[in-house]
Amino acid sequence: MKKPVFNIIFLINMCLISNLGFSTNYYVDAISGSDSYDGTSPTLAWETIDKVNYVVFQPGDSILFHRGQSWTGNIFINYTGSSSQPIVFSSYGSGDYPTLKGSTEADSTNYWIYTGNNIWESVISFNEEISVLFYNTNDSLPLRAKKESVLSSLDNLWEFYYDPVSHKVSIYSPSDNPADLADGIEIVQYYCGIHIEDVCSHITISKFRLKYYTNDGIYAYNPGAGLIIDSTNISNVGGSGSDIFHGNGIFIHFLYSNDTITIINNETYNIWNIGIFVPAGPSTISTLYGSRICNNNLIMTGGSAIGVRYSTGVEVSDNNIYKASVYIPDRCGIGLENCDYLIVTNNTISEAVDDFSSPYSGWLSAGIYTFGVSHSKFYYNIVSDGMVGIHLDDDDGTYGYTSTANEVCYNLCYDFIGIGIMIEQENDSTLVYNNTVYNCLYAGISFRGMWAGNSDHCSVKNNIVFNPEYSNNVVEIANIGIDFKMDYNCFYHADPSANLIHWIGNNYLSSDFNSYQNISGQDSNSLITNPLFVSPSLDEFALNSSSPCIDAGTHIGLDTDITGQSVPINAMVDIGAYEYNSVTGNIIPIPDEAKLPLLVSPNPFSSGTTITINENLNDAMLRVYNSNGKQVKQMNNISGQMIILHLDNLPSWLYYIQLSSENVHYPMCKLVLVDN
């Protein structure tokens, strides 16, 4: 009688074991693999992407591509992992990350046939519509050719046309075979590198190189929870022929509430539209607490480097952004629309500025731009070199957005043609505390109502605003709402004949400061003296030991400054973003060495300098960019803790270095090369 019971228990146990699932590692090797193998070991690896796209993978499976190898095409994902067993796409072996490429190389003269009238036609045909073509692809910054809709419109070098009948590409080249003129040509065939289908949750993408795609490097349509994109390099994506809203490095197209995503440690370069684009919604705000867009490196982005819409609870932190709005006007370093409870901290943003071709240039082209964002924290960001540093904007009633209870604290904004920190429309209950703003030619801090009403219950305290040269205003308060408070600030203009403060239609020089105080009722404890930075010419905005801003602020409830230094050191809070430490003097403390691990000395330098890092590197890479974003030097296979860098034969000017290892992109650093 016990045997049936035993059988039932045995069957139950077998069902439970089967539900646990068995994960498998699959390997792909473009050189030694074969699609006839089972793919379950490096010696029995598959060969092609087609084989990978044929298989339906199970939770816990890993699909590993051999490093140092390249595949043409794209990966299509239409299956789901689980929270405990995600499906992982990554790499194995040694060398560079595996490359997925969406183009055909066409830099041989045999590839092109002259057909007359300065037109050169490709010898092969393409079944897919060709909308994007790159040339000078062996240079550090490949360029995009202009596509024309009819062959007869080709009349300028590098204009191209795709014939839907012959399926061939024609290029206008009046002087020679295009392959002789260009240092590399890539004809882009595939729309994206990795496509993740609807509700394919718990997918991990890690350690790939994706380049030359028409629409997006990685595209995920409503992927569900648990998507992780980590340590992937995406470059040369999109062009004027990309589909609307596309041409992005990473495009997460719609997320619903609780669909948490993680986008970390990635690098994008030369992207046509947006580097990382997460428009959640689609029509209502999605709750995404725990979602992170962090520690990414985004260089030469045509539109915004990072764009987030219709989201609550997303963290956007520790990203390095250099040159945004390069190809498309009215874009920004970080653009946020109709969002709530965001954390935007520790980002470094430089040169997020367009070409002034749009009537909105300067107001929307900002380091950080928000439109209808509430209850969000903008802390510890360093934003420089553009039109506007941080711009909080609000809806004029068209979309029904609201903006309230945002905090802009302990940021550094410097060298702007326009405004350092701009609060516009109805941004009620905004706190602007302990920021350092330097050299902003229109105004350092500005409040203006314009079309949608004024900002009520705002507070501006403990800020340094310093203009060393002629500007319209140090501070502009064009419009205010009720309960506006401004005090314990340090406002200074090096030119005493320049406007110090614009207050509700009236301008006040430094000599008129008492009159301004009496009329406005503001800034009774504020200073109008030089804050005495360490060395603003070298972008060192910490306070020196004689600064009048030391212990001159007021407690506002924050406990760390822009470097992580405890606040206050003494009895009172310092004014500005940097708390002075009498023990370390004017040396800025770095309590979190994982965030700022590089020491460059000497800097400035005449030919060579030494870069020291606080951890051992293995197979790291160092890139050097000039001030236009063009890569001018690269060092590979770096090991140890010290790098000797020489910039011989380069002109004296400003340069940027980017150090990256397998799992992290270190913060970008400025170098100043001077004459001997």
Q: Is 514 part of any domain?
A: yes
In a shared domain, residues 423 and 334: yes
Write down which residue in 188, 221, 238 finishes a domain: 188
Does residue 337 form part of some domain? yes
The pLDDT, as a whole number, for residue 663 is: 57
What was the pLDDT predicted at 122?
Answer: 97
Residue 203 confidence (pLDDT): 98
Strands, E, within 207-354: which ranges?
A: 209-213, 216-221, 227-230, 233-237, 248-253, 261-264, 267-271, 276-279, 286-287, 292-294, 297-301, 306-309, 311-312, 315-317, 320-324, 334-340, 343-345, 348-352
Pair 155, 220 in one domain: no
| The domain boundary residue, chosen from 294, 325, 356 | 325
pLDDT beneath 70, residues of the chain: 1-21, 354-364, 450-453, 583-597, 626-630, 652-654, 662-665, 667, 674-676
Distance linking the first and last C-alpha atoms of the chain: 97
Residues 513, 503 within the same domain: yes
Task: Name the H helices within 396-486.
Answer: none
Which DSSP string do the residues of 474-511 spell out, in sequence order?
SEEE----SS-EEES-EEEESSTTSEEEEETTEEEEGG
Interatomic CA distance for residues 542 and 558, integer angstroms: 18
44 occurs within a structural domain: no
Same domain, 364 and 458: yes
Residue 627 lies in a domain: yes
Residue 151 sits in the same domain as residue 279: no
Is residue 147, in this structure, part of any structural domain at all?
A: yes
- Judge if 352 and 486 occupy the same domain: yes
| 229 and 193 Cβ atoms separated by less than 8 Å | no
Structural domain ending residue among the three candidates 135, 154, 188: 188
Residue 12 lies in a domain: no
Residues 6 or more apart whose CB falls under 8 angstroms from that of 9 comprise none
Q: How far apart are CA 452 and CA 107, in angstroms?
A: 55
Q: What is the pLDDT of residue 9?
A: 43
Q: Is residue 656 part of a domain?
A: yes
For residue 568, whether the previous peptide bond is cis, meaning omega lies within 30 degrees of 0, is yes
549 Cβ neighbours under 8 A, 6+ residues apart: 464, 490, 527, 531, 532, 543, 574, 575, 576, 580
Domain count, the chain: 4
Q: Are residues 321 and 378 in the same domain?
A: no
Residues 208 and 219 placed together within one structural domain of the fold: yes
pLDDT at 358: 52
Residue 340 shares a structural domain with residue 292:
no
User: What is the rounded CA–CA span in Å between residue 350 and residue 399?
Assistant: 30
* Alpha carbons 77 and 384: distance in angstroms, whole number: 40
546 occurs within a structural domain: no
Q: How many of the other CB atoms lie within 10 Å of CB of 445? A: 29
Output the pLDDT for position 4: 46
* Same domain membership, residue 251 and residue 265: yes
Cα–chain center distance at 175? 40
Q: Which residues constitute the domain of residue 77?
A: 68-101+191-325
The model carries a pTM of 0.86
**206 and 311, same domain (yes or no):** yes
State the CATH number of the domain containing residue 397.
2.160.20
Q: Please report, for the domain that includes residue 662, its CATH number.
A: 2.60.40.1930
Q: What is the pLDDT of residue 356?
A: 60
**Residue in the structure block whose two tokens are 């904007």:** 393
Same domain, 317 and 345: no
